[in-house]
Amino acid sequence: MTTEAKSPTSGVQLVEITAENEGQRIDNFLLTLLKGVPKTLIYRILRKGEVRVNKGRIQAPYRLVVGDIVRVPPLRLPEEKPQATVGAGLTRTLEQSILFENDQLLVINKPSGLAVHGGSGINLGLIEALRQIRPQSKFLELVHRLDRDTSGAVMVAKKRSTLTALHDDLRQGRISKIYHALVTGHWSKRLQKVDAPLKKNDLQSGERVVKIDPEGKVSITEFRLLESYEHCSLIEAKPITGRTHQIRVHALHAGHPIIGDSKYGDETMNRLLKTQGVKRLFLHAAELRLRLPGSTERLIITAPLESDLKDALVRLRG
């Protein structure tokens, strides 16, 4: 089925569930179907029993089954803004950035500056662009996310079953994600792990800042020195947990903020390294290690650095 609702809508919607949405929680299904509707309203209509499956009341954790008839009550949706059109340049860039693809999974080497999805003033993200470029694909969903300024490997599921299986593997720690980062100062070979709890803080401006906090969530990152330069170091970072801004804040906590980081970085070093060509956040998702659902073969996918960062490293070595 197509998970798009017209805006605004009136009257009751009856939606029959197909294999595309089998196993999905009803709350997540409604969040996708009713784009723009506040989460609070979604959970309110579930709690009040206004959403029915096969004429019966259900709770948010209910998982959909093929053939289920979902009754959605009449809701007035916000007017949808016209989505930006993917240009020829971005289409070419994304097609050339495919690192791996089969009938289950698509892995893209996301360029820096492209958000993984739209929202918060961003009309077009990676997933929206892929859906436009590949209208024949009935299902494309992000398996995980990268910050807008972080480049590198992003997984996109092409089947609901793949998405569910990979989400489970991420939760169980069966997928390894390895990043490369350029940080200030000389990273010690003895500094191999940062174990410091992280807590999100939303400022009045709406900006989100993550800080080390004893009351925060357990957060662990393993580090390894790759190469040293005069004023900075190239390191490998392997997040054991998956917290927002984890690598950036743990690097700062270790005394070595990432070069080009406007939120957690060192402004003086950022200006200095700009002269060497590092004009954005030097954080790159360089490698993924996983098993495809239904397979015993271990898959290793590597994402090459963008040319501007490669050139900057050459200058630093010189």
79 has pLDDT over 70: no
pTM metric for this prediction: 0.79
Picking from 15-29, 93-107, 128-142, 152-166, which range would have the lowest pLDDT averaged per residue? 15-29
Contacts of 194 (CB under 8 A, 6+ apart): 220, 221, 223, 250, 251, 253, 254
Per-residue pLDDT, averaged over 155-161, amounts to 93
Residue type, 226: L
Query: CA 291 to CA 297: how far, in whole Å?
Result: 6
Query: CA 314 to CA 307: how far, in whole Å?
Result: 11
pLDDT grade for 82, boundaries at 50, 70 and 90 = low
Pull the structure tokens for residue 173. Answer: 């720690």
Among the listed residues 27, 68, 103, 147, the single catalytic one is 147
Tens digits of residue pLDDT in 110-135: 999 999 987 656 678 899 999 999 99
Contact 130, 81 (CB under 8 A): no
Residue type, 44: R
Tens digits of residue pLDDT in 268-283: 999 999 998 999 999 9
Pull the structure tokens for residue 205. Answer: 């401006």
Residue type, 116: V
Longest Cα–Cα distance in the chain:
71
pLDDT grade for 264, boundaries at 50, 70 and 90 = very high
Tens digits of residue pLDDT in 250-260: 999 999 999 99
239 has pLDDT over 50: yes
Question: Could you give the count of Cα atoms lying within 13 Å of 211 in the half-sphere of its Cβ?
Answer: 8
Query: CA 256 to CA 229: how far, in whole Å?
Result: 13
Q: What local confidence, expressed as pLDDT, does residue 6 receive?
A: 45
Catalytic residue at 147?
Answer: yes
211 has pLDDT over 90: yes
Per-residue pLDDT, averaged over 197-205, amounts to 82
Domains of the chain, first to last: 13-72 (3.10.290.10), 88-166 (3.30.2350.10), 173-317 (3.30.2350.10)
Q: What local confidence, expressed as pLDDT, does residue 5 receive?
A: 45
Picking from 6-10, 23-27, 218-222, which range would have the lowest pLDDT averaged per residue? 6-10
Contacts of 123 (CB under 8 A, 6+ apart): 81, 83, 84
